Structure 1
Amino acid sequence: MKNTYQVDNVVTEVSSHGLTLERVYGYDFSIAIVTNFTQNHLDFHKIMDNYLQSKLLLFSKYLSRSSSAKAIINHDNPSYEHFINACPSKKTQNSFVANDIKTSLNGTKYIVLLPSGETRRIHLNIHGNFNVYNSLACIATCFTTYSHLLTLDQIIQSLENFQYVKGRFEFHIRHRPFSVVVDFTHTPDGLEKVLKCGRQILLESAENGRLIAVFGTSGRGDRSKKTIVWT
């Protein structure tokens, strides 16, 4: 790919289906990232353990054996130890920690603690703790792999310049008698996090307000999660 398309780096999202069916056979990932593991795709995997084992393949089978390879794993996720144990090498561990997290209508603020002990304040235009995890993964990846090309200021500035992902806690109406947010969430865990984010925004605002949820469960996929969502 480097010679054909003059591409030095490729970032790709790899599904559990793709890992199970070996759609990434022959890939040698230099960095593997996982931010969460919750119920999904049980129409394909049948049980959660099968789903977990498929996710672990990214680290146990497809992560490069090179000494420069890196695994970025969310320590707060209950399955953290499974992913750590799946890594081919565990030479060095560095922690990137978010403290003093606050979410409001204007975005999310937090203080990042780097492995060196240095702290920096960050203001994201996107909302929710789940996006704090995503941004920490970005910081960890860039800071540990591309520090010879990017300064910490450039990494943080890029995150702060990012506006939003369409359909992911996307505001369609803001700062009027009411705000309207659209989110593609389709799992029990995802819906819970979106509702908690909405509640956090209300708590941080100066006005008392109500959180009204309108949601559906379309499609013929994993029907077991639909029962959880509706209860």
Structure 2
Amino acid sequence: MDYEQLRREYTAGGLSRESLDDCPLTQFEHWLAQAVKADIGDPTAMVLATVDEHGAPWQRIVLLKGLSRGGFVFYTNHGSNKARDIAARPQVSLHFPWNVLDRQVIIAGRAEKMSLAESAAYFATRPRESQVAAWASRQSRPISTRALLEEQARAIREKFGRGEIPLPDFWGGYRVLPQRIEFWQGRQHRLHDRFLYTRNAGGWAIEQLQP
């Protein structure tokens, strides 16, 4: 395969300072609404990057589950690799790759645990089998076979029967409080539009970046 020939022009649109909202979270909601309207697969999928105890970065895709108290919300097992990384080094990065629209949003911020009440309220809205999966999986830990994972899920179904499945004490939400947010719009000839919001004492400063 000739990788060097895999290229295209970005012609979906442009981005100007005049078109941007002064608040990056409001601007993000505008773009997310447009991504949903464009029928992009998994428009709330975001890449979460953390750094482990050896200083090595790692990325994985998680789903955005809301904007709360000025932050981007996702949920996970508190024993997962991502959660353990966050506990030691809470500075993280998020990335929304909306390639169909020639757009991406890049966020740098600090992740914090959400309250038990917030996590329980969200957990109650999850499909029952998703609740079962949260209990059954010791996320990121090794397992010998798929059959063993299925057996763990079966045991959880039997344990709770038809009753309510409570929030596991090892599972919950995180809120990423942004410090920098970049909005990137692809343009022809690689002369892309980039605008960076940086949090300061008065709110947000906005500057345009060269591509």
Q: TM-score, normalised by structure 2?
A: 0.24
Greater relative CO, 1 or 2 (CA 8 Å, sep 6+): 2
For normalisation by structure 1, the TM-score amounts to: 0.23
Q: Compare the two structures and name the one with the higher strand fraction.
A: 2
